[in-house]
Chain A
């Protein structure tokens, strides 16, 4: 079934244009890498704050306000540029082990982030000025898991070029 979809996608007009115009894929890849650098740097800052390794004089709520908009903005750019790359080279990504691992880890990273943001928002709504101290230990685990996931996502992305 996947093979059928890959063949259909590769034969669409959009895919043919992307394949034919030589500069589209390199250019879109560059935009994709730049957006990844925004995600990684933002999430590294945020996760290091959760791990209490950076920016300790500022609250977690402050870091969240600062960096979350960059994460969501860059993720939109990544989804768009990533889609163009898949349409242009469906065989390269779909069915590729590294790509599948990347998508699973991406889903996990987004889920972890959404859950953590929901907890932070609830703590703020309940009158706190920051994440409740009872959640600090859990926040460290979130920071570690999130950082490991985002790093692995970027690595898996590069490995798509080599895996089958």
Chain B
């Protein structure tokens, strides 16, 4: 069933246009890389604050409200452009190790974020104004930072397979 889906995806009009054009793939890929750098760069700011390394004089809640809308916007662009790139050669990408690992890390990053929002962040008014952060926040920040560095590394690796 998955094979059918991947083949259907490759036969859609945008996928064919991308795989047949010389410049569509590089163009979309450039936007994809740009969006990912903004996702990772902005998340890193929050993660480093959670790790008690950077921006220690800023309340965590305020920082998250300020930065995350930019992260989500960039993430939406990364997903759309990524889906287009994927569709142009879906069966190939799906069969590669780095693509699967990258998707796995993205899911783990999502789980990590959901857990953080559902637990530690709920009491941000209590701890967020002090420079020191609780251990749970440090763990979330460290896990997030590692996962996103992994996402970048695997993304680059896909291009070499």
Contacts and interface: CB of A to CB of B under 8 A. Distances in A.
A16 B70 CA distance: 42
Interface in B28-48: 29-31, 33-34, 36-42, 44-45
A155 B38 contact: no
Contacts of B101: none
B76 interface: no
Interface string B11-27: 00000000000010010
Contacts of B72: none
A154 B34 contact: yes
Interface stretch (A35-43, A83-91, A106-114): A35-43
Contact of B152 (A34, A41, A44): A34
Contacts of A26: 156-157, 160
B41 A33 contact: no
Given A29-B156, A44-B70, A37 B26 contact: no
Interface residues of A, number: 25
Contacts of B29: 158
B55 interface: yes
A80 to B, nearest CB: 18
A88 to B, nearest CB: 14
Interface secondary structure of A, over-half rule? helix
A44 B38 contact: yes
A159 B26 contact: yes
A54 B66 contact: yes
A21 B70 CA distance: 38
Residues of B in contact with A, size category: 20 to 34
B149 interface: yes
B153 A37 contact: no
Nearest to B155: A33
Contact of B36 (A37, A45, A54, A155): A37
Interface string A44-68: 1100100000110000000000100
Contacts of A40: 34, 37-38, 41
A11 interface: no
A159 B31 CA distance: 11
A161 interface: yes
Interface in B109-161: 149, 152-153, 156-157, 160
Contacts of B44: 37-38, 41
Interface in B94-118: none
Contacts of A162: 23, 26
Contacts of A29: 156
Contacts of B40: 34, 37, 41
A79 interface: no
Given A38-B44, A162-B26, A155 B153 contact: no
5 contacts: A34-B149, A39-B41, A41-B40, A44-B70, A158-B26
Pick the 3 closest A-B CB pairs, nearest first: A41-B41, A37-B37, A37-B41
Interface of B: 23, 26, 29-31, 33-34, 36-42, 44-45, 55, 66-67, 70, 149, 152-153, 156-157, 160
